[in-house]
Structure 1
């Protein structure tokens, strides 16, 4: 029995290493993929961001002039039809993300990237605030070379300004999976929920104080 324990330990180690390597390969394939560009629909464009809990991010973007709607979901991974429970394991590769439907004649993609960085702790790795794990990591998704250039330039400028490494990853957009119905407009529908009171609303207010010039007239809390 004593001889079996080291053997089992080695076998488990190899199994874990193989699993981690397989996950890394799948994630790298996502990062190396060609971006998919989402066409305009009724004059509206779409952009995709991951920045911690999607309840927080959804509300932030919906306060911005030119943003028609913000939808909570999952992106950045390799599994199909991810669920909240599955993504929370960190094994799907997905992060909680938002789809921003906006009028490009009113607000530019570049401004949406500014909103992204102004509404988070840009140096926090694998999470925002109390939400930690790969499912809460920061990702900006680009759909073409122009968007990628905007992201990289703004990321580099912020790194220089803060004299720190910026945690946000930059991924080619592949697919956005809409989250379960109960996640949509969560902050708006549950303003007195404990997490919303303690985390989401303070985060929204901090952003609004930083970029008041981009807010809708009725957006202030």
Structure 2
């Protein structure tokens, strides 16, 4: 079961001593301060961008918090949609966000979130102001007749046919929002390196499609 809570800072307010006040002495019968003090509040390290415009905080089991948009996650991920919609929400203060603690580690959780944020993340990879050399991928992803160019995070260009990858969940929405060059070629930039992207595209090309009648 996932637990949702809010971060709260616990502060201990002590009366201020004045110059004319007698020095304070501990009573022999009083318990020590160490035995009655509450444990310090838990501290979480911030996750990496783009998880910085949140209405929800997801915390990995190794105490890394990711500030996310529940609206985006509900629209793009059945896993997060079910998680967010079925987890009870508790009242929060104006300065704190609802929090869900998860069993995944930070690396795994970041991967799940980045998959859900694929359209949003493309905004973090704008075309450079100065042109960079695009390294062409090997066959079958170098067909000059292909109408779609997918560029990996390490600048390798995969020329693919949209009809072969339009059913791929990873690229379906990205194709619809891709930029179109004057030649009619569509260009998509993704954060994954060429090895990871190549495996995704190989999976798309491996699916046999029925012949058009």
Given the two structures, how large is their TM-score scaled by the length of structure 1? 0.19
Q: Which has the higher contact order (CA 8 A, sep 6+)?
A: 1
Rg: which structure is higher?
2
Higher helix share: 1
Given the two structures, how large is their TM-score scaled by the length of structure 2? 0.20
